[in-house]
Structure formats: C-alpha cells, structure tokens
Structure 1
Amino acid sequence: LASLTDPAEKDSLRYLVSHPRDFIRFILLGMKSTADIAAAMMDKARDIDIWVPLMMDTERGYEGAPSPVGFDAQKRTMMDLTARGKGRIMPFFAYDPRSRSVDAVQAAIEKEGFVGVKLYPPLGFKPTGNDDSAVEANLEDLYAYCTAGKGEPIPITVHCSWSDGIYSNRAVPGISRYKEYYRDMAHPRHWEGVLARHRNLKVNLAHFGGAGEWERRALAGPPAAADRNWADMILRLMGDYEHVYTDLSFHGILAAENGEDYGRAIQEAVRGVEDRVLLGSDWYMSAIQGDLDDYWRNFAAVLPDIFDPMTGTNAIRFLRSAAAATHFPAFLASRNGIDGPFVNLFHH
C-alpha cells in the first residue's frame, strides 16, 4: 500500500481486504462475459434507462502483453450489445491516434452504433503536442470531425485524473519514472490549445482530476501543488468553454466513507457549472468499492442538489449530437429494432 500515490486506491484495497466476500465477487465478475455482465446489471438496475459503456484500446500501451481479446473483437461485441439494447445502450468508441486514422471513428459513429469517442492519453499520447506528426494529424482530424457541421458536436470522454488509472508500460529513453511521465499526458492543461482551436468541441474531462485529489480537498481544501490540483483547471476550462464537462466516476469510496465532506466540497466547487457535471460508474473497477446499487444511493445522499441533473438532463445534453440523431437509430433499425422512448432522447 505504501507504494500507491492515490488514497482512494489505498481505500479500495483496504475495503477488499476487510470485505473478502466482495473481493471474491469482484474476481468472479471479471471472469464473466461482457454480455452476461451487461444483462445482469441491466436486470438489477431497472431504474437506469440508458447505459453508456466506454471501450478501451490498450493494444499500443502495453509492451509484450497482447490482449486476449483484440480490438476488433471487442468492437463487434459492443456492436452486438448495442443492437440487443434497442436504444438503451449507447457506447463510446475507443480511439488511439497511433493505431488508426479518423476513418475508424467515422465508421463507428455512422455505421456501427457508437455515439461518442473515448480517449485514454496515459496509454502513450497527449491530446496535442505530440512529437509524432502523424499522431498530431489524426487528433486534429478527430476534433474537426467531431465538430463538423452546424449541429451539436459528437461527444468525447477523456481520462483526466492524476491520482488513479492505468498507464503504458513502454520504456522511454531518459525517463526512469515512467508512471509520472504517462500520467502527465492526461493533464487538463493539454486541452487548452485544443479548445482554443476547436471552441465547439464537446469533451468530458472524466474523473474531475481524480478521487485522490477530491479526498484531499474534502478533508483539507485544494492542494497547493499545481501537479496535484487538476480540478481547478478543469473548472476554469468549464467556465471558458460551454461544451466542457466533467464527471465523478470512480469516486464511490469517497461518497461512502467521507460523504458529508466530499459532498460539500463538490457542490461548492461546481457552483455555476453544475449543468455540466456528470455521474459515471467506471464499471467494473468501481465494483472494488461495493455494490452498484449502493454506489448510486451513496451519491444521491451526499449530492442532493445536483444528483438528478447529473444523472438526467446533464447526461442527455452531453450524449446528444446531430450525428447520433441520424446514425444511431439507423444502426438499430438495421439490427434488432428500436425502443423509441430512449432514442427520442436525442431530439429536443
């Protein structure tokens, strides 16, 4: 535990040690198929109308560790789940600009049932300012595609946490502390230049800086060190750009164990931009922190002023785009059909 930098990660591990049955449940959950996990969750949480899974593409991030399930197979699985959901499952397509061009994103949005894009910079790239010109070109093409036309832009969710997450294991010449090197790729400052060039970009800076930062803020106020204070920069970007969002994913242990202080700190911080705060689960990692039902109930209890918008109108506004309004229903109609009330959320 002493080697971990994030107090929320430590709390999650302590929770598992003191709750062995939950640890066993977490391990068994990871052994199930994606389809079985999705079916069980949707059956249990019937009051959740829309599910938004975000793919991960880790193939370029891990040296010598090939995934047992390749990217294309993962994409096909997600497409099948989306079709079965008939509008209740709205997935985000994982994009690594080192692996493919924006044509893959265009196909995902326009033909394959995806409604948004997921970026995970700590796997080895920055939102902008990369040395590789091909990577830079692919990212600029992505931002241009997502903001093309006069309608609402295509949403992007990006990992933006200093305190938790996964990182590339690839060696970098001259760098010994590679975790810190890759973690910095998720820093919100990298989005300043992107947003200045693409003011209409709709992006969710996920994790709101990280659970570790918010544990410290709840107990002692904002950290003085700039490299440990990502939340204030996220808030500034939200104030400057009307389509910048954030979310509270993987904050469950804070809502459960430091609920009153955490809720107060969050609600005070987001005053004025609360219409662009989302609630995510980061499932299945948040299963470390307890049951899904408890996860939602804890947030409802500690964030009473913003819980309903976070899980309702804010989320709908973020998911909505001109592209999805056209292409998502067409994909569903070509497969298993549409459950109208859910797809209608894309229309004002």
Structure 2
Amino acid sequence: MAVGRLRRLVCGAPRRSMRRTGQLLRPSGNCHPGRAIRFFTVRRPMKIRASAKRRLLLKTSFGAMFPLAGCSCPLPGRPAVALQPSGQFPFKPARIAPKSIPLLFDVHAHFFNATDVPVKGYLAGPIAHEFPEALQAAVRAAAPVVEALANRLAISCADEMDKIATLLAHAHALGLAPGAAQQALVGLIDADITQHQQRIVAGIVSAARDSDFGRSLDEADVRYRSRRLGGHANKLTGPPISRDLDRLSRAVDREFGSPLDGLVDPDLERDDPGSIIAFIGVMLSPRHHNLRKFQRGYSVDDSAAGVDACFPSMVDFDHWLGCPDTISSKRDQMLLHEQLAVLSGGYVLPIVCYNPWTDILNNNASLTLVEEAIRDRGFVGVKVYPPMGFLPLGGDPKICGDFKFPDGEEVRKRMAALFALCEKYGVPVMSHTSHSMGRDRQHDALPGPVNWGAVARAFPNLSIHAAHFGGNHYAGEDRWPDQFVALMGRDEGKNVYADLAYRTELMGTGDDVERARKLLSGPLSKSGTELTYRRLMYGTDWHMMAKMRGWAGYPHALARFVESFDADPAKPARHAVFYDTAVRCFKLRKTAPAPGQVSTTRQRLEAFYARWQVPTPPWMQTLDRL
C-alpha cells in the first residue's frame, strides 16, 4: 500500500487498551455500532494458536446471560440517512476469478439480517420448518436467543449506513490513489468481519449456557457426532458444541473451500448442528459483511466460480409472523440495498419486496415503495412470498387453523395492481415456489405451479421468476418441476422462468437426479423445439446456502450437472443457465420499451449509474460485446 502499513478498522477503545490477535488489534470491550470508529496502525497480521483464540473469546464474552424475555415485536429504529455520491466503490470486486463462460449471474441471493425480519417468528416458523427434523427443536429454541442477541449484535440499516459513511470518510481522508484506497477499504472491512464474528461466538457461548437452546444444540450435536462414529456415543471426546469455541468459530466463519459433493455423507452433514450456528452468524452480521463473504466465496478467490453480478432480494414477512414492523423499515432496507448497488459498482442488482398485507393496512405503502425502487433506485425485480399465507392471485387460501389473514378479495386487488405495475416497467415478479418455508404444509402449498398458471393467464406480458423451480418434488402426484415445465410449454407460459437456487440434491445420484436430468434437458412441449434449460437460471439462495459447509462449491457442482445434458454444442446449457436466461428474464440488453412500458430496465440502470457517478459495470460491458 502507498502508506507502507495496513490500516485496520477498529472500534472505540484507546490504543493502550488494545490486544493483539491474528488479524488486527482488538479493543478489550465490545464495540457498539453507534460508537465512533477509529483507525489504528498494526504490523503484518500474525497467526495465533487455538488456545490463545479461546482465551481471547472468553475474555471478550458478554459475561452473565442477559434476559431473553421481553416484547417479541421490537420497535422500529430511527430512519436511515441516504449517502451522497463519493466516487468510492469498496464493495466492487477487485477481480473476478476466470471462467470458461463470458458471464455468470446469481439471480437469487439475500443479504438481510435479524433487524430486517421478525426474527423470533422467522426462526421458530419458516426456518425451523426448513431445517432437517433432527435440528428443528434446536432451531426453535434458538429463536428467542437470536432475538435477544440481535439487540446487541445485529446492526440496523440506519446504523450500517452511518458506519459505511464513516468508513468512506476515513478512506477519503487518507488521500490515497483509487487503487490503494480500494485495497485499504477492503482491508478495513475484512478486519471488521473478523472482529464481529468473534463477538457473535462470545454471544452464542453466553446465550447457550444453562438454556434450552444450549441443551437442544448439544443434544443434536451428540446425535450427529455419534452417527459419524458409527453410533458409538461412548467414544465422543471434547466439549459439546455450545462450549467449543473452535467449532463455533469455524461454523460462524464457514470455510468455503471444499465442494459440496466432496462430503463423505451429505445426508449426515445436513444434520450438523454447526449449520444452525452458521445461519445465526449470518443473521447477526451487517449486510455488507455478508456481501463481502459472498464475493470472496463466489467471485474473488482463486477457487471461486467467477460470479459477475448478484441479485439480492429483500423479503417482507411483516404481519405474517406476528409482528407489524421490523427494527429496520422496508424503506431503510431499500436505501441500503441501493447503496450496496452503488458502492459495488453495479455488482449488486437488487430486487425489492412486496407485501399485500402492508398495502391493505397502510394505504398502498408497499406498492409505492416498489415503484420508487424500480423507477429510481436501481432495482431490477420484485419478490413476493406466498408461503406466508396468500395466493399469488388472491382469494381464499383455504388454510385450516387459527390463522388470521387479510381479506382474499383485497389481496386479489393488491396483487393485480402489483402485476400491472411490473408489466408497466418490464420487470419480473420473483416468487418462492419450493414446497417449503411456510408455517406448515398447508402454507407450503400456496406458491405452487397451478396458482402461478392463473397469474400467467391473467397477465400475459408479465415475466414470472419461479425461485427454486418447484423444489425437489419429482415423485408421486405432487411433481412441481414437471408442472412448471408444462406451464412453460403452453402459450400462457411463454414468460415463465425458474432458478435452480439451493437445489443441492442435484449434486448427488439416484432416481430423482436422473428424472431431473431428463426433465431439464428435454423440450418444453411435445410439439415445441425450445429446451427446458433455456428457461432456467443459476442462483444460490445465499444466505440459506451459507449454512452448509463448502457452500462455494455449489456453482462448480451445478455446472457439472448442467453439462451432463448439453444437447446443442452451438448453445451450451451452461451459457443459458449461468447468464443468458437471466439476461432475457431481467431484460438487461439495450432494447426499446415494449408497447405499454414506460422504460426498460437497461435504460433505468444506465440513468441510475450516471446519477451516482458509477462507471459502466464490467458485466454490462461484457454483455454488450456478446
């Protein structure tokens, strides 16, 4: 670096109270997001022994466990203040790992944290429902713990934007050349990630002590490790996971080098309680930390697949999970995603969320936010979440039980207004379409292909993005992937697309994988010539993917699966799945607006980048050459 020494971002404490660790000098106390951020000069980072790491974490733990009781619906935080153009791009990858295809887009990712969702209801409901049965009790027990930890560790959008502004101001004050400033900013962010992860581990240790969460986690760990030892629980050694600082640290900072399909027993690994810790780590981290981890694993490191741009979507679970609001408002979440799009130099192409219940209760507030995000703030699509309790086209969801839902006819009107708006701006509607993530199996059925077929018939110019492509349901009567393919092959399904996010079963072997291979490599209809893979897109569903060991191996493993059904050498399936279908679905090429459209996504992006003084993103330059 131009200054000759690496400057690290640390918090608060004076220099004399700092302690040396493997990556930076750390303060002796905890750093609250609202405290002042200062720079300190350190020598070259040194590795430390695991024993020293344990001592450090024990010294920086929270001490006595703070109360977990209290209101399950925290009050909204202060509003965020938008940043101004700075000419700095700390989240723009310095390099993209080389690959054999021109572009690679991840159309399905998430960077939200615990202040963006009703976190207790989120973990106890949809997330526990998603985890393997062996881990569900521990996830439910974790819900109130994570809610309590979030009050200390999960930074709000407003505080995160303040932190980013401070970071940019300090970098500007150094007076470095652009390349050196970029390197310094990345170093600051990576150092802050390491420090924050250690605070998360310390918080988990304290929270697990003498709690239902700790007991459930350790019980799951005993079952998991006993299975690894062939059922011999008497051979277990070492502390339980709730007190094992090294294992907790490795889980929070999941190593992403090993490929998913290199695991000895993928079914066994799914029961690893470390996946719960990894998920908690993501939920308690700032969003730009999660973006940086995503970039390292998928774009920057030598073993990375070379992702050129990602499409992170916001989610809106307000009201559905028992809380009307979140600490970080949806507007603040939109503003922060806008800043990530700007400060990443166009690497981030965000997708805004829509909630019909918010629209009904708050006089079109959700639809107004959607239009602003699409029209002015660099967003390229809209995400909806029917498993929360509504049908894509409204009406009675016919769910038994004690659930209170908004009026079905009101939902119909709101969803119709959303789809008309998306047609007006030419952006796709993205929906969770896997048979999962609801409160129960009744909720899981709501985003199915039959319901989206009704939307396609009613709105023929609407692009529909079926996230997860129906999930892993290839057998019996409930074959959602087959039904989506059938919909795509009909006239009304000409604008229906799907992604292969978080479909790790496609990395294995067996009847389901062979069925998927035949389905995805075949034609959309008996009379047509278009092959199914021409409607498919690559995605990860990161941060759900981040709970798995070896998550960075997913695109490599998926590429091998896709290559296995290449049928046309002139149009390899990898080109379609990894970038070309996304270009068509999100309309990223230079074209004129279609009849009835006010502008194209490409026109709006170009105006957005010009307004924020963002140079033409590399992915856009590459696309224009193809």
Report TM bin, short chain: 0.7 to 0.9
Q: Which residue of 2 aligns with 1:174?
A: none
Contact kept, 8 Å, 1:59 with 1:71, in 2: the verdict is no
- Distance across 2 between alignment mates of 1:236 and 1:298: 27
Partner amino acid for 2:494?
Answer: E
Q: Which residue of 2 aligns with 1:220?
A: none
3-state SS, counterpart of residue 40 of structure 1: helix
Partner amino acid for 1:309?
Answer: A
Q: Describe the shift of the 1:13–1:106 C-alpha distance in structure 2 as closer, same or farther (beyond 3 A).
A: farther
Q: Which residue of 1 aligns with 2:427?
A: 154
1:129 Cα deviation from its structure 2 partner: 3.5
Counterpart check, 1:29 vs 2:282: yes
Q: Which residue of 2 aligns with 1:224?
A: 476
1:114 Cα deviation from its structure 2 partner: 0.4
> Which of 95, 101, 104 is matched with 2:369 structurally?
104
> Which of 317, 324, 337 is matched with 2:601 structurally?
324
- Distance across 2 between alignment mates of 1:184 and 1:328: 35
What 5-or-longer segments of structure 1 have no aligned partner?
169-178, 218-222
After superposing the two structures, state which structure 1 stretch, 52-61 or 132-141, moved more.
132-141
- Distance across 2 between alignment mates of 1:233 and 1:141: 26
What 5-or-longer segments of structure 2 have no aligned partner?
1-127, 135-264, 301-305, 396-406, 523-530, 567-572, 594-599
- Distance across 1 between alignment mates of 2:276 and 2:420: 44
Q: Describe the shift of the 1:7–1:36 C-alpha distance in structure 2 as closer, same or farther (beyond 3 A).
A: closer
Contact kept, 8 Å, 2:352 with 2:381, in 1: the verdict is yes
Contact kept, 8 Å, 2:351 with 2:381, in 1: the verdict is yes
1:335 Cα deviation from its structure 2 partner: 2.2
Q: CA RMSD in A?
A: 2.8
1:283 Cα deviation from its structure 2 partner: 0.6
Alignment of 1:126-145 (within 5 A): 126-130=391-395, 131-145=407-421
- Distance across 2 between alignment mates of 1:85 and 1:155: 23
- Distance across 1 between alignment mates of 2:337 and 2:321: 22
3-state SS, counterpart of residue 379 of structure 2: coil
- Distance across 2 between alignment mates of 1:345 and 1:92: 22
1:325 Cα deviation from its structure 2 partner: 1.2
Task: Give the TM-score normalised by structure 2.
Answer: 0.47
1:291 Cα deviation from its structure 2 partner: 2.7
1:142-182 per-position Cα deviation (integer Å, ceiling 9, x unaligned): 21222238xxx3111111111x22x25xxxxxxxxxx2332
Identity %: 23
1:344 Cα deviation from its structure 2 partner: 5.1
Partner amino acid for 1:56?
Answer: V
Higher relative contact order (CA 8 A, sep 6+): 1
Q: Describe the shift of the 1:315–1:195 C-alpha distance in structure 2 as closer, same or farther (beyond 3 A).
A: same
Contact kept, 8 Å, 1:192 with 1:237, in 2: the verdict is yes
Partner amino acid for 2:415?
Answer: L
After superposing the two structures, state which structure 1 stretch, 117-126 or 335-344, moved more.
335-344
Partner amino acid for 2:447?
Answer: A
3-state SS, counterpart of residue 147 of structure 1: helix
Contact kept, 8 Å, 1:160 with 1:186, in 2: the verdict is yes
> Which of 210, 227, 234 is matched with 2:484 structurally?
234
Q: Describe the shift of the 1:311–1:8 C-alpha distance in structure 2 as closer, same or farther (beyond 3 A).
A: farther
Decide which structure has the larger Cα Rg and report it: 2
Alignment of 1:83-122 (within 5 A): 83-100=342-359, 101=364, 102-122=367-387
- Distance across 1 between alignment mates of 2:129 and 2:551: 26
Alignment of 1:1-348 (within 5 A): 14-18=268-272, 20=274, 24-44=277-297, 45-46=299-300, 47-64=306-323, 67-100=326-359, 101=364, 102-130=367-395, 131-148=407-424, 153-162=426-435, 164-165=436-437, 167=438, 179-211=440-472, 213=473, 217=474, 223-225=475-477, 228-240=478-490, 241-252=493-504, 254-258=505-509, 263-270=513-520, 271=522, 272-304=531-563, 305=566, 306-320=573-587, 322=593, 323-343=600-620
Q: Describe the shift of the 1:139–1:108 C-alpha distance in structure 2 as closer, same or farther (beyond 3 A).
A: same
- Distance across 2 between alignment mates of 1:9 and 1:113: 40
Q: Describe the shift of the 1:8–1:203 C-alpha distance in structure 2 as closer, same or farther (beyond 3 A).
A: farther
Contact kept, 8 Å, 1:17 with 1:23, in 2: the verdict is no
Q: Describe the shift of the 1:308–1:264 C-alpha distance in structure 2 as closer, same or farther (beyond 3 A).
A: farther
1:197 Cα deviation from its structure 2 partner: 1.9
How many pairs were matched up? 316
Q: Describe the shift of the 1:299–1:19 C-alpha distance in structure 2 as closer, same or farther (beyond 3 A).
A: farther
- Distance across 1 between alignment mates of 2:384 and 2:506: 26
1:327 Cα deviation from its structure 2 partner: 1.4
Task: Give the TM-score normalised by structure 1.
Answer: 0.81
- Distance across 1 between alignment mates of 2:344 and 2:452: 33
1:262 Cα deviation from its structure 2 partner: 5.0
- Distance across 2 between alignment mates of 1:66 and 1:183: 23
